[in-house]
Structure 1
Amino acid sequence: MRSPAVRGAWLLLCAWIASATALAGPAAPGQAAPVHAEPGAAAAASIGVPPAPASSQRNGREIYESFRAGLADPTCNADATSVRWKKHFGHAPGQLARSGEDLLPLFGYVVESLREASLPTEYALIPFVESGYKPGARSPSGPAGLWQFIGITARNHGVAMRAGYDGRLSPVDSTQAAVRYLKTLHGMFGGDWRLAVMAYNAGEYRLLQSMRSAGMNARNAKPEQLRGLSGITHAYVEKLHALACIFQLADDRAEWMHSLDRPVPRLASQALPGNISSLDAWANLQGHDPALLRRLNPALAGGISLSRGGKALRVLAPASGQTGPDPAIGSTLAAEPLPPTSGAALASTPSPPSNGAAAASGSHTVRRGESAWSIARRHGLQPQQLLKRNGLA
Structure 2
Amino acid sequence: MAQDSANQAQTAATPAEATTRNGREIYESFREGLAEPECEPGGVSPRWRQHFATAPKRLAVDDDLLPLFGYVVDALRQAHLPTEFALIPFVESGYRPGARSPAGPAGLWQMIAITARNHEVPMRSGYDGRLSPVDSTTAAVRYLKTLHGMFAGDWRLTVMAYNAGEYRVMGALKRSGQVARSAKPEQLVGLSDITQAYVRKLHALSCLMEQADDREEWLRQLDRPVPRLQAVTLPAEIKRLDQWAARTGEDSGQLVRLNPVYADGIGTRPARLLAISAPATPVDAVASAEPAAASTAPAAASRKHTVKRGESASTIARRYDVRVADLMQRNGLGARAVLKPGQLLVIDAHDAPGNRVPSEAGSP
Q: 2:272 aligns with which of 299, 314, 317?
A: 314
Which residue is equivalent to 1:119? 81
Kept after mapping to 2: 8 A contact 1:71/1:122? yes
Kept after mapping to 2: 8 A contact 1:186/1:192? yes
Which residue is equivalent to 1:295? 257
Gap regions ≥5 residues in structure 2? 6-11, 283-364
**Structure 1 residue 255: deviation in Å?**
1.2
Kept after mapping to 2: 8 A contact 1:199/1:207? yes
AA paired with 2:200? E
After TM superposition, the score normalised by the length of structure 2 is 0.71
Cα deviations by residue, 1:221-257 (Å, 9 ceiling, x for unpaired): 1100100000000000000000000001139722111
After TM superposition, the score normalised by the length of structure 1 is 0.66
Kept after mapping to 2: 8 A contact 1:96/1:103? yes
AA paired with 2:230? A
SS of corresponding position for 1:182? helix
Which residue is equivalent to 1:246? 208
**Structure 1 residue 53: deviation in Å?**
2.6
**Structure 1 residue 88: deviation in Å?**
0.7
Q: Which runs of 4+ in 1 moved over 4 A?
A: 319-324
**Structure 1 residue 315: deviation in Å?**
0.4
Kept after mapping to 1: 8 A contact 2:14/2:230? no
User: Is 1:89 aligned to residue 52 of structure 2?
Assistant: yes
AA paired with 1:148? Q
Which residue is equivalent to 2:164? 202
Output the CA distance in 1 between the equivalents of 2:279 and 2:204: 37
Which residue is equivalent to 1:70? 33
Output the CA distance in 2 between the equivalents of 1:121 and 1:218: 20
Output the CA distance in 1 between the equivalents of 2:224 and 2:28: 13
Q: 2:230 aligns with which of 268, 278, 288?
A: 268
Which residue is equivalent to 2:154? 192
SS of corresponding position for 2:21? strand
**Structure 1 residue 287: deviation in Å?**
2.5
Kept after mapping to 2: 8 A contact 1:53/1:322? no
Which residue is equivalent to 1:285? 247
Return the structure number with greater relative CO, CA threshold 8 A, min gap 6.
1
**Structure 2 vs 1, CA of residues 71 and 112 (structure 1 numbering), >3 Å: closer, same or farther?**
same
**Structure 2 vs 1, CA of residues 188 and 53 (structure 1 numbering), >3 Å: closer, same or farther?**
same
Output the CA distance in 1 between the equivalents of 2:213 and 2:118: 39
**Structure 1 residue 51: deviation in Å?**
7.8
**Structure 1 residue 97: deviation in Å?**
1.2
Output the CA distance in 2 between the equivalents of 1:266 and 1:108: 7
**Structure 1 residue 288: deviation in Å?**
1.7
SS of corresponding position for 1:73? coil
Output the CA distance in 1 between the equivalents of 2:120 and 2:13: 27
**In terms of mean alpha carbon deviation, does 229-238 or 296-305 score higher?**
296-305
Kept after mapping to 2: 8 A contact 1:56/1:321? no
Cα deviations by residue, 1:276-310 (Å, 9 ceiling, x for unpaired): 221211221122221111111000112112xx1xx
Output the CA distance in 2 between the equivalents of 1:72 and 1:143: 28
**Structure 1 residue 321: deviation in Å?**
9.9
Which residue is equivalent to 2:300? none
**Structure 1 residue 220: deviation in Å?**
1.3
**Structure 2 vs 1, CA of residues 236 and 302 (structure 1 numbering), >3 Å: closer, same or farther?**
same
Output the CA distance in 1 between the equivalents of 2:40 and 2:279: 43
**Structure 2 vs 1, CA of residues 52 and 176 (structure 1 numbering), >3 Å: closer, same or farther?**
closer
**Structure 1 residue 320: deviation in Å?**
4.5
Which residue is equivalent to 1:166? 128
SS of corresponding position for 2:25? helix
AA paired with 1:68? R
- Superposed, which structure 2 residues align to 1:326-345 within 5 Å? none
- Superposed, which structure 2 residues align to 1:218-257 within 5 Å? 218-250=180-212, 253-257=215-219
Output the CA distance in 2 between the equivalents of 1:322 and 1:245: 41
**Structure 2 vs 1, CA of residues 110 and 209 (structure 1 numbering), >3 Å: closer, same or farther?**
same
Output the CA distance in 1 between the equivalents of 2:42 and 2:248: 50
Kept after mapping to 1: 8 A contact 2:209/2:215? no
Output the CA distance in 1 between the equivalents of 2:41 and 2:242: 49
Kept after mapping to 2: 8 A contact 1:266/1:319? no
Gap regions ≥5 residues in structure 1? 1-35, 37-41, 43-49, 325-393
Which residue is equivalent to 2:177? 215
What percentage of residue pairs aligned between the two structures are identical? 64
Which residue is equivalent to 1:327? none
Output the CA distance in 2 between the equivalents of 1:75 and 1:115: 19
Output the CA distance in 2 between the equivalents of 1:97 and 1:282: 27
